[in-house]
Structure 1
Amino acid sequence: MTPVVSVSGRRSGRLPVAGLIAMRPGSRTRLCHRLRSHPAGKGTRRSMGEGDFIALLDGVHQLVRASIVLVWDRLNTDVSRKMQGLVAEREWLTVFLLPAYSPNLNPVEWVWAHVKRSLANLAVMALDRLETLVRNRLKRLQYRPHTLDGFIAGTSLIPDTPASP
């Protein structure tokens, strides 16, 4: 999921953020994310593309050193032909799609709500300052696995823990 945080003013722009919550039985829950700063201007990209999302997934794969089962919402970029090709090239990646219009089933939506709430009363006039604040808030969440577990519990979905052999 990619929420976009915008800032207005003389040095305006957009700050798309992609993230995922990584769970592994016996390990702490992790938050992994990627930010792309897009300064304002004609002809400049204002969102994340397939390459940004796949770079995030490749980074998570390097971190966890295991196969990944990804549950994805239906963002246009997530279901594009280009993304389908990139996913098909990665034998360690299995993707399931959430039903359409079901943000309540996506625990990352809780992450974005939490981060946005922490930024609600701030008047930021520069994109670089906003990026610093968002990175700070996300880093704090990385060290709060119980909060991340709460976001997962908030979906009312119960992860199926495989039986030990």
Structure 2
Amino acid sequence: MVERGRTAAALDAWLVFEDEAGFSTTPPTARTWSRHGHTPVVRVRARSRRRLSIAALACYKPGEPSRLIYRPCPDARPDGRKSFSWKDYRDLIQTAHQQLGGPIVLVWDNLNTHLTAGICRYIAERDWLTVYQLPPYAPDLNPVEGIWSVLRRATTTNRAFADPHDLITAVRRGPRQLLQYRHDVLDGCLAGSGLVSTRP
């Protein structure tokens, strides 16, 4: 990770971490308060197994407030695909470049979609984009994993969703309300990964 940080500094670039996660209408449960001897019960009316996938970029640069850029997976596709395609990742990276206004050093995992010919060609044709792969089985090195943990605790834990649309609304609203303008939370996720902070 030191090499990635040096590369970002040398290029005066944003250091950007990417990850994706899925959220289900079956809510995760956590500890809560209750009367002694009365186990809390979360009743779920919607038995749908509907899931929503979301990809996020945690963006860091010395002297700049940390940023979170995210995109839910499109709900309806002509080909029936339920996960992100390489074109979705391309569009997310392009959006980040436009919003950040500078070079990007992107760090992400070895998901097969990240290694397709299309995305590799896109990366090779952009002089403002440098990409590094995380080591296999190293989610603890990715600050976005911490963001998913915060988001689940704040927006979905112990919550009974009325229907799939309720889940989609909550997951789309969560990052915007909780993280997009909370730079301290984003910085905390970076610190939690054990990486050296890029803040001055």
Q: Please say whether Structure 1 and Structure 2 have the same fold, judged by a TM-score greater than 0.5.
A: yes
Task: Please tell me whether residue 80 in structure 1 is matched to residue 116 in structure 2.
Answer: yes
Structure with bigger RCO (C-alpha 8 Å, 6+ apart): 2
Task: Please tell me whether residue 5 in structure 1 is matched to residue 23 in structure 2.
Answer: yes
Runs of 4+ off more than 3 Å: 8-12, 159-162
Match of 2:145 in 1: 109
Contact 2:61 2:199 in 1 (8 A): no
Contact 1:106 1:155 in 2 (8 A): yes
Selected match of 2:95 from 59, 63, 72: 59
Distance (whole Å) between structure 1 residues aligned to residue 48 and residue 140 of structure 2: 34
Deviates more, 1:88-97 or 1:30-39: 30-39
Structure 1 position 132, deviation (Å):
1.3
Structure 2: stretches of 5+ with no match in the other structure: 1-18, 27-45
Match of 2:158 in 1: 121
Q: Please provide the CA RMSD for this pair.
A: 2.2
Distance (whole Å) between structure 2 residues aligned to residue 37 and residue 123 of structure 1: 23
Of all paired residues, the percent bearing the same amino acid is 38
Distance (whole Å) between structure 2 residues aligned to residue 25 and residue 65 of structure 1: 14
Deviates more, 1:91-100 or 1:127-136: 127-136
Match of 2:192 in 1: 154
Identify if the C-alpha distance between structure 1 residues 99 and 113 changes in structure 2 by more than 3 Å, giving closer, same or farther.
same
Structure 1: stretches of 5+ with no match in the other structure: none
TM-score, normalised via structure 1 length: 0.87
Structure number with larger C-alpha Rg: 2
Identify if the C-alpha distance between structure 1 residues 2 and 127 changes in structure 2 by more than 3 Å, giving closer, same or farther.
same
Structure 1 position 12, deviation (Å):
5.3
Distance (whole Å) between structure 1 residues aligned to residue 184 and residue 199 of structure 2: 18
Contact 2:25 2:51 in 1 (8 A): yes
Distance (whole Å) between structure 2 residues aligned to residue 161 and residue 28 of structure 1: 8
Matched residues, number: 160
